[in-house]
């Protein structure tokens, strides 16, 4: 029997990320003490049969092919947007204006102007008690949250360098089929917005500083791919004679950056790094020590204290699964690690707390719009032969 007020959720989208979010909504209140209980009320997708089957499998009460239904229905409290980027703005703005709380996947939008309009809508809605949050889920990794705690406490001193890599290989085969993530109209950008945005957000969040200017290169290595609608053979390769679609986004990005706190940053991201399924790594070097994290060992944080005796210096490994580590105390006994899905459960729990007035939604749409400005500066720099480009800080600046 439900003892907490329900928070009735509509998820927009039926793909991989929608499934992850659905799992999180089902789980959050079972492990965290929350002021409300998420209820999977409505799943919206483009194809009626696929959406109906997905709703049944994921535990939603109903399905629809119209996202507008989620916005207009009085029995929906929260709209969770897991669509390609071109739908983020219309769905989010309509939902906020209708008084629905909103969770929107990253990157916030396909360009700065849309991100600013979403941030403005969130600000207006906040005055009426409506909450909006962007889904940069890696913030909810216990080891990374511990890293931020240590950095903000001054344990590594003034930060000098940040190095971040996000490497995947799911597009390394030139015959891998075309998807919406390769279409600029839907995705906004390629590797840059898909995974590079995570590294940018993580770095700014860890330091509590903003990137002020960048110099960057973008590269598209595979300029066309077989259409997904064509017959695809084993291993994800298209059959002979398949129609090819133009790739209109980047495959790889390399960035040098400066932070307003004085640190230098180097960022690299690609979806064509053969052998790297999901290699998300960041290292932060300060005057008094360093911190390193690799998502392939997501329960571990490497920490170096430069004040240790010379004969004892070296990176030591912290297993971030003790009760005092962020989020970890809600789960298993010490030593029993967490997985990728738990990040989304932590995200859902944090958002429900904010909806119930027991916390602050972070990252806000304004935070995510600042990441969007970095993405825009990267593209500007890359399109102008790596010219150093300032990151605009105010809404309305282009």
pLDDT digits (tens, 9 = 90+) for 107-156: 999 999 999 999 999 999 999 999 999 999 999 999 999 999 999 999 99
Q: What is the DSSP string of 17-35?
A: HHHHHHHHHHHHHHHS--S
Residue 390: inside a domain: no
| Cα gap 134→285, rounded to integer Å | 28
Nearest of 388, 107, 135, 143 to residue 282 by alpha carbon: 143
| 241 or 86, which is more confident | 86
Beta strand extents in 31-182 (DSSP E only)? 37-44, 62-64, 78-81, 101-105, 132-135, 159-167
The 10s digit of each residue's pLDDT in 304-350 is 999 999 999 999 999 999 999 999 999 999 999 999 999 999 999 99
Summary mean pLDDT of the chain: 95
Is position 234 within any domain? Answer: yes
Whether 364 has a pLDDT exceeding 80, the answer reads yes
274 within a domain of the structure (yes/no): yes
Q: What is the pTM of this model?
A: 0.94
Tell me the angle at which helices 340-355 and 16-31 cross, rounded to the nearest 10 degrees. 60
Has residue 354 been placed in a domain? no
Please report which confidence band the pLDDT of residue 394 belongs to, taking 50, 70 and 90 as the band edges.
low
pLDDT for res 96: 98
pLDDT of the residue at 232: 41
Do 211 and 317 lie in a common domain?
Answer: yes
Shared domain for 130 and 152, answered yes or no, is no
CATH number at residue 13: 3.40.50.720
165 lies in the same domain as 128 = no
- Domain assignment present for 227: yes
Are residues 76 and 147 both part of a single domain? no
Q: Are residues 166 and 112 in the same domain?
A: no
Q: How many CA atoms lie within 13 A of 240 on its CB side?
A: 0
Residue 198 and residue 248 in one domain: yes
Close Cβ partners of 190 (under 8 Å, ≥ 6 residues apart):
181, 182, 184, 220, 247, 249, 250, 251, 271
96, 88 in Cβ contact below 8 A? Answer: no
d(CA 359, CA 347): 12
**CA 131, CA 383: separation in Å to the nearest integer?**
36
Q: Quick one: pLDDT at residue 235?
A: 40
| Structure confidence at residue 230 as a pLDDT band (50, 70, 90) | very low
Same domain, 130 and 170: no
Which one of 106, 138, 170 terminates a domain?
Answer: 138
> What torsion, rounded to 10 degrees, do the Cα atoms 289, 295, 339, 86 define?
120
Q: Is residue 155 included in any domain, yes or no?
A: yes
User: What are the distances in angstroms from CA 313 to CA 147, 271, 283?
Assistant: 19, 36, 17
Query: How does pLDDT run across 256-277, given as a tens digit for each residue?
Result: 999 999 999 999 999 999 999 9
The yes-or-no verdict on residue 1 having pLDDT over 90 is no
Same domain, 286 and 221: yes
Assess whether 123 and 222 both reside in one domain.
no
What CATH number is given to the structural domain containing 287?
A: 3.30.360.10
Residues across the chain: 398
DSSP per position, 167-228? E--TT-STTSPP-GGG-HHHHSSSHIIIIIHHHHHHHHHHHT--EEEEEEEEE-S--EEE-T
Do residues 315 and 303 touch, judged by C-beta distance below 8 A? Answer: yes
Q: Are residues 207 and 332 in the same domain?
A: yes
Considering the domain architecture, whether residues 277 and 378 belong to the same structural domain is answered as yes
pLDDT band at 242 (very low <50, low <70, confident <90, very high): confident
Question: Minimal CA–CA distance to 157: which of 280, 262, 1, 301?
Answer: 262
Q: Is residue 398 one of the residues assigned to a domain?
A: no
Residues 6+ apart with CB under 8 A from 269: 165, 166, 167, 191, 192, 195, 196, 199, 252, 253
Q: Residue 231 pLDDT more than 50?
A: no
Q: Where a domain ends, among 110, 138, 166?
A: 138
Residues 216 and 114 in one domain: no
List all residues 6 or more positions away from 281 whose beta carbon is below 8 Å from its beta carbon. Answer: 164, 165, 166, 292, 293, 294, 295
Q: Of 103, 138, 173, which closes a domain? A: 138
Q: Residue 93 is part of which domain span?
A: 6-138
Q: Are strands 6-12 and 78-81 parallel, antiparallel or unpaired?
A: parallel
Tell me, yes or no, whether 356 lies in a domain: no
Count of domains for the chain: 2
């Amino acid at each position: 029997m439900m003892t907490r007020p329900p928070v009735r959720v509509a998820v927009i989208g039926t793909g991989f990320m929608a499934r992850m979010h659905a799992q999180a909504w089902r789980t959050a209140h079972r492990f965290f003490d929350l002021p409300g209980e998420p209820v999977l009320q409505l799943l919206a997708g483009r194809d009626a049969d696929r959406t109906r089957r997905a709703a049944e499998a994921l535990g939603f009460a109903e399905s629809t092919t119209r996202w507008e239904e989620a916005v207009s229905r009085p029995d929906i409290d929260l709209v969770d947007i897991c669509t390609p980027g071109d739908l983020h703005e219309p769905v989010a703005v309509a939902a906020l204006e209708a008084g629905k709380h909103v969770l929107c996947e990253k990157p916030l939008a396909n360009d700065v102007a849309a991100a600013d309009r979403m941030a403005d809508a969130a600000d207006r809605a906040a005055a009426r008690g409506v909450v909006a949050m962007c889904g940069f889920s890696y913030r909810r990794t216990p080891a990374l949250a511990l890293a931020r705690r240590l950095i903000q406490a001054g344990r590594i001193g003034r930060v000098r360098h940040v190095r971040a890599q996000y490497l995947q290989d799911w597009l390394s085969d030139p015959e891998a089929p075309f998807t919406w993530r390769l279409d600029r109209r839907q995705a906004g950008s390629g590797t840059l917005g898909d995974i590079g945005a995570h590294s940018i957000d993580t770095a700014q969040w860890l330091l509590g500083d903003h990137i002020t200017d960048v110099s960057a290169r973008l590269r598209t290595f595979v300029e066309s791919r077989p259409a997904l609608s064509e017959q695809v053979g084993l291993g994800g390769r298209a059959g002979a004679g398949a129609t090819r679609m133009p790739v209109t986004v980047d495959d790889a990005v390399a960035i040098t950056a400066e932070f307003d706190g004085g640190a230098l940053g180097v960022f690299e991201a690609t979806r064509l790094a053969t052998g790297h399924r999901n290699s998300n790594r960041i290292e932060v070097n300060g005057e008094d020590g360093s911190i390193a994290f690799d998502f392939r060992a997501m329960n571990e944080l490497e920490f170096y204290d430069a004040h240790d005796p010379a004969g004892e210096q070296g990176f030591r490994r912290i297993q971030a699964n003790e009760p005092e580590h962020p989020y970890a105390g809600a789960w298993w006994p010490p030593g029993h690690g967490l997985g990728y899905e738990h990040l989304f459960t932590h995200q859902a729990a944090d958002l429900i707390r904010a909806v119930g007035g027991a916390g602050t939604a972070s990252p806000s749409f304004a935070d995510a719009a600042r990441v969007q400005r970095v993405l825009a500066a990267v593209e500007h720099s890359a399109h102008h032969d790596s010219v150093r480009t300032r990151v605009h800080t105010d809404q309305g600046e282009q």
